[in-house]
């Protein structure tokens, strides 16, 4: 039915590719492209013979628009799935526009070089106008909206779990459970144990920059920013148990504040153990989370990239990780004039994910929605020119697909609320 170019071959991309190959009726042909072609070839060899999806591979530098354009013209895909780094969102969007192809990704743009003068000027202006200082935001990609509209193309932003599934939960709750939603608390709990003293469950550069940044939340029409990790709560998660969780800035808050009418407050919490936080603080204190290049023995290195090379590759954590994740949204609001609460969430088992696709649940819970978002575009269930996040489309087919393809969800109508 469709040909797709998938850019990226890390842990999340590996899951998305496995799921595309399980769904051969939609994904009849895929081309896997990465800077390191051998990784693509290894995955192709592993999957061939298990699927009727035709698989090809290619080498590409996703920082180079001309290379991307040449590859897209060669492959002639119906859709480009960007499962590379968020640093590369804009170059891939530019290439899609140049070639007239729809686009999707799993996380919003952030720059690799925080010292770039053009980005820094725009960043400082946004900090002053919006009131939050996270390095990642939707403004750079939302600026492409008119270009995609005029080209008759669709760009779907952030079809992972959070962002992605959490926004589908919000749209579904708005459509089916509430007349008005007052508050949304997004809770991301990883109860897994990989056995290492310190490791990140997804790309260390992205993970550590996100966690060490100031937290922020949306309340009464504006942003409230707080020092990093300064708001802590405890929560008893279904099938995981009692965990400490901390308020972070997260990208879906920004789009939900625009797209859920009259919402009064949106917060995002993620669980962390004390050992993780101690290691992270130590690394931050000695400068290892810095993105500013330094000279070392005649070579220029970026400290956080050097740290990434030292830490375990998240794609290798699958066979070691035991336990479960629990990710969802707690809502308060009104239905038929009465107060109402609801908690929509998914529980995912690390070991079951590894048995199915050779991955831990963090990559699984992002890779499956990437395939589902692509399927929505390819089947025409989601189809309108412009640049959109998940909650701006009809949530029903997406929510149905989550149940079918490995991320079943449930609703608790009387949840414990977060103070």
Q: What is the mean pLDDT of residues 339-364?
A: 96
Q: Name the architecture of domain 165-359.
A: 2-Layer Sandwich (3.30)
Ramachandran sector of residue 336 (left: φ over 0; alpha: ψ -120 to 50; beta: rest) = left
In sequence order, what DSSP letters do the residues of 174-196 get, joined into one string?
A: HHHT-SEEEEEEEEEEE--B---
Q: What is the mean pLDDT of residues 114-121?
A: 88
- Structure confidence at residue 291 as a pLDDT band (50, 70, 90): confident
The whole-angstrom separation of Cα 133 and Cα 210 is 11
Q: What is the pLDDT of residues 34-74, one digit of tens each?
A: 999 999 999 999 999 999 999 999 999 999 999 999 999 99
**CB burial of residue 214 (10 Å; 0-12, 13-18, 19+):** middle
In 3-state terms, what secondary structure has residue 25? coil
Structure tokens at 80: 């480009």
The whole-angstrom separation of Cα 64 and Cα 50 is 33
The whole-angstrom separation of Cα 263 and Cα 255 is 12
pTM of the model: 0.94
- Give me the pLDDT at residue 329, please: 98
The whole-angstrom separation of Cα 252 and Cα 391 is 10
Q: Smallest Cα–Cα separation from 166: which of 186, 145, 150, 140? A: 186
In CATH terms, are 2-157 and 165-359 the same topology? no
- Give me the pLDDT at residue 289, please: 87
- Structure confidence at residue 277 as a pLDDT band (50, 70, 90): confident
The whole-angstrom separation of Cα 17 and Cα 370 is 9
The whole-angstrom separation of Cα 329 and Cα 35 is 36
- Give me the pLDDT at residue 280, please: 85
Per the CB < 8 A criterion, the answer to whether 43 and 14 are in contact is yes
Domain boundaries along the sequence of the chain: 2-157, 165-359
Element spanning 271, H or E: strand 265-271
Q: What is the pLDDT of residues 127-185, one digit of tens each?
A: 999 899 988 899 999 999 999 999 999 999 999 999 999 999 999 999 999 999 999 99
Q: What is the mean pLDDT of residues 77-86?
A: 96
With residues binned 3-state (H G I as helix, E B as strand, rest as coil), the percentages for the chain, rounded to 5, are 40, 25, 30
Structure tokens at 328: 């969802």
Query: Taking 90 as the threshold, does the pLDDT of residue 112 lie above it?
Result: no
Query: Taking 80 as the threshold, does the pLDDT of residue 382 lie above it?
Result: yes
Strands 294-296 and 215-219: unpaired
The whole-angstrom separation of Cα 37 and Cα 40 is 5
Percentage of the chain with pLDDT > 90? 82
Considering only the top CATH level, what class is 2-157?
Answer: alpha beta
Per the CB < 8 A criterion, the answer to whether 108 and 188 are in contact is no
- Give me the pLDDT at residue 215, please: 95
Q: What is the pLDDT of residues 188-227, one digit of tens each?
A: 999 998 888 888 877 777 777 778 889 999 999 999 999 9
Mean confidence (pLDDT) of the chain: 95
């Amino acid at each position: 039915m469709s040909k797709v170019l998938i850019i990226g071959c890390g842990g999340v991309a590996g899951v998305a590719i496995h799921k595309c190959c399980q769904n051969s009726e939609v994904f009849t042909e895929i081309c896997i492209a990465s800077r390191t072609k051998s990784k693509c070839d290894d995955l192709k060899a592993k999957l061939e013979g298990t699927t009727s999806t035709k698989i090809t591979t290619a080498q590409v530098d996703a920082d180079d628009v001309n290379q991307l354009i040449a590859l897209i013209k060669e492959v002639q895909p119906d859709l480009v799935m960007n499962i590379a780094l968020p640093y590369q969102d804009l170059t891939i969007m530019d290439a899609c526009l140049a070639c007239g192809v729809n686009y999707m990704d799993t996380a919003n743009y952030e720059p690799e070089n925080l010292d770039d003068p053009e980005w820094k000027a725009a960043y400082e202006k946004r900090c002053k106008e919006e009131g939050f200082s996270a390095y990642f935001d939707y403004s750079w990609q939302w600026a492409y909206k008119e270009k995609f509209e005029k080209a008759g193309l669709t760009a779907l932003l952030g079809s992972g779990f959070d962002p992605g599934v959490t926004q589908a939960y919000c749209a579904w709750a708005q459509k089916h459970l509430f007349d008005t939603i007052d508050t949304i608390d997004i809770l991301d709990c990883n109860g897994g144990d990989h056995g290492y003293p310190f490791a990140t469950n997804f790309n260390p550069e992205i993970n550590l920059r996100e966690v060490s940044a100031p937290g922020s939340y949306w309340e009464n029409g504006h942003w409230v920013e707080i020092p990093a990790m300064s708001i802590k709560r405890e929560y008893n998660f279904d099938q995981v148990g009692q965990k400490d969780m901390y308020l972070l800035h997260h990208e879906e808050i920004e789009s939900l504040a625009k797209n859920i009418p009259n919402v009064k407050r949106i917060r995002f919490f993620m669980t962390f153990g004390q050992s993780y936080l101690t290691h992270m603080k130590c690394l931050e204190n000695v400068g290892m989370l810095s993105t500013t290049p330094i000279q070392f023995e005649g070579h220029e290195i970026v400290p956080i990239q050097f740290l990434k090379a030292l830490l375990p590759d998240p794609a290798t954590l699958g066979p070691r990780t035991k336990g479960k994740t629990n990710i969802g949204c707690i809502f308060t609001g009104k239905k038929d004039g009465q107060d109402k609460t609801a908690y929509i969430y998914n529980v995912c088992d690390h070991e079951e994910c590894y048995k199915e696709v050779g991955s831990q649940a963090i990559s699984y819970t992002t890779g499956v929605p990437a395939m589902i978002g692509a399927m929505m575009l390819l089947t025409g269930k989601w189809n309108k020119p412009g640049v959109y996040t998940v909650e701006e489309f009809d949530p029903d087919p997406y929510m149905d697909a989550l149940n079918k393809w490995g991320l079943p969800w449930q609703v608790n109508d009387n949840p414990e609320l977060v103070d």
